Amino acid sequence: MLPPFIIALSLFPFFPAFHCGVTTEGEHTVMEGQHLTVPCHYGPQYAGYVKYWCRGKMREFCSSLARTDEPRSANPAEEEVSIFDDPVQLVFTVTMSNLKEGDSGWYMCGVEIGGMWTADDVAYTNIKVIHGMSVVNSFLIGEEGSSITVECHYSERCRESEKRWCRSGDWSSCLLTDSDGRYEDTSVAISDDRTRTLTITLKKLQMRDTGWYLCFAGRQQKDVHVLVTPRPTTTVASVTSTPTASQSVAYLPAPKPISKESWKSHSHILESMLMYPGDLHHSALVFLNRDSQNVPMY
């Protein structure tokens, strides 16, 4: 019986996870009239090979649309299908422009291996081109007093259709673009680029603007929810400083001149005045007697 590690090695080529071949996403959905970029990843052993993009699910009957060994156009932006290989990141990308519903179907990104007995390494993806609308972000949050922008994309078929922006539940709130594809007032600005994007800007947001809205292009529609949050308030706190005991200083009036007779009769006393910092009601005058430990207080 063969050792386990020999059996494992013999099965190694059948595990896709260990095979550095060509991979890509299995499905793409895109709006009619838009473009789509598909990345196709490959292993390091294919860095110097020719890559291609074709339509179909069988290599023998796959209609070639782009190859990396073909000369590139002077203006790639005008090409309906373009291909670019990045051997550093081991990925080649295919871009299809101005897609139509008829472009829906299976496509193949492959590496041309060559040779009679060696098949190309390929990966398949299904592209669905749909008619309708889409929204970049259907849930928006804005602070009170600020502005937010909604982008509604529509397909080629909706280019000449009427564009509207409405608040859900109130059809009288619907705002329509004019002949130039624009509308604006103090709270809303709408612009239609007449290609595929309707842009709505809600200005000076108020709390009552929170709710659901609808973006229309003809009979196509998309829902958008707007949440307005309160503007932060700044509170200024007043601080009152209360003098502490260590900050209170009291002064006694200057003593009256002492007569010679009075001084003689009290020559045995050292006069010293101590003041406790604080309230004058709690002040004490202390005479320290040099000849006695008793300290009379007055």
Convert the pLDDT of each residue in 239-283 to its tens digit: 555 555 545 444 555 555 655 555 455 555 444 444 444 444 444
Q: Which residue has the higher pLDDT, 165 or 242?
A: 165
Specify the CATH number for the domain of residue 159: 2.60.40.10
Predicted confidence band of residue 288 (pLDDT cuts 50, 70, 90): very low
- 46, 91 Cβ separation under 8 angstroms: no
In a shared domain, residues 211 and 151: yes
pLDDT (0 to 100) of residue 244: 55
245 part of a folded domain: no
Question: Does pLDDT of 114 surpass 90?
Answer: no
- 196, 33 Cβ separation under 8 angstroms: yes
For residues 62 and 97, what is the distance between their CA atoms, to the nearest angstrom?
Answer: 20
In a shared domain, residues 217 and 277: no
State phi, psi for 85 to the nearest 5 degrees.
-105, 130
The residue among 133, 149, 292, 289 whose CA lies nearest residue 223 is 133
pLDDT (0 to 100) of residue 13: 42
Q: How many helices (H) and strands (E) does the chain have?
A: 2, 20
Question: Does pLDDT of 198 surpass 60?
Answer: yes
In a shared domain, residues 207 and 294: no
Sheet strands side by side (includes 36-41): 36-41, 91-96, 81-86
Q: Which residue has the higher pLDDT, 72 or 9?
A: 72
Sheet strands side by side (includes 133-135): 133-135, 148-154, 197-202, 188-192, 182-184
Question: Does pLDDT of 45 surpass 80?
Answer: yes
For residues 29 and 100, what is the distance between their CA atoms, to the nearest angstrom?
Answer: 12
The residue among 48, 25, 51 whose CA lies nearest residue 38 is 25
In a shared domain, residues 213 and 284: no
68 part of a folded domain: yes
For residues 156 and 142, what is the distance between their CA atoms, to the nearest angstrom?
Answer: 31
32 part of a folded domain: yes
State phi, psi for 127 to the nearest 5 degrees.
-105, 130
How far out from the chain centre does Cα 172 lie? 34
pLDDT (0 to 100) of residue 285: 44
In a shared domain, residues 147 and 90: no
Average pLDDT over residues 111-115: 85
% of the chain residues with pLDDT over 70? 70
Question: Does pLDDT of 54 surpass 60?
Answer: yes
DSSP per position, 171-193:
EEEEEE--TTSEEE-SSEEEEE-
pLDDT (0 to 100) of residue 8: 45
In a shared domain, residues 56 and 138: no
In a shared domain, residues 34 and 118: yes
Question: Does pLDDT of 131 surpass 90?
Answer: no
For residues 73-110, one letter each, b for 16 or more C-beta atoms within 10 angstroms of the residue's C-beta and e for the rest, the string is: eeeeeeeeebbebeeeebbbbbbbbebeeebeeebbbb
5 part of a folded domain: no
Domain with 185 in it: 133-229
pLDDT (0 to 100) of residue 15: 42
44: left (phi over 0), alpha (psi -120 to 50) or beta: alpha
> Among 229, 251, 275, where does a domain finish?
229
- List all residues 6 or more positions away from 209 whose beta carbon is below 8 Å from its beta carbon: 187, 202, 226, 228
Predicted confidence band of residue 193 (pLDDT cuts 50, 70, 90): very high
Burial of residue 298 (CB within 10 Å: 0-12, 13-18, 19+) is exposed
In a shared domain, residues 138 and 29: no
Average pLDDT over residues 66-80: 79
Strand partners for 27: 126
236 part of a folded domain: no
238 part of a folded domain: no
117 part of a folded domain: yes
251 part of a folded domain: no
Regarding pTM above 0.85, the answer is: no
Question: Does pLDDT of 222 surpass 80?
Answer: yes
> Among 103, 130, 157, where does a domain finish?
130
Average pLDDT over residues 173-201: 93
Predicted confidence band of residue 157 (pLDDT cuts 50, 70, 90): confident
In a shared domain, residues 122 and 143: no
% of the chain residues with pLDDT over 90? 51
Number of domains in the chain: 3
- 109, 91 Cβ separation under 8 angstroms: no
> Among 96, 130, 164, where does a domain finish?
130
In whole numbers, what is the pLDDT of the chain averaged over residues? 80
In a shared domain, residues 123 and 20: yes
In a shared domain, residues 23 and 124: yes
Place of tokens 């709130």: 173
In a shared domain, residues 110 and 172: no
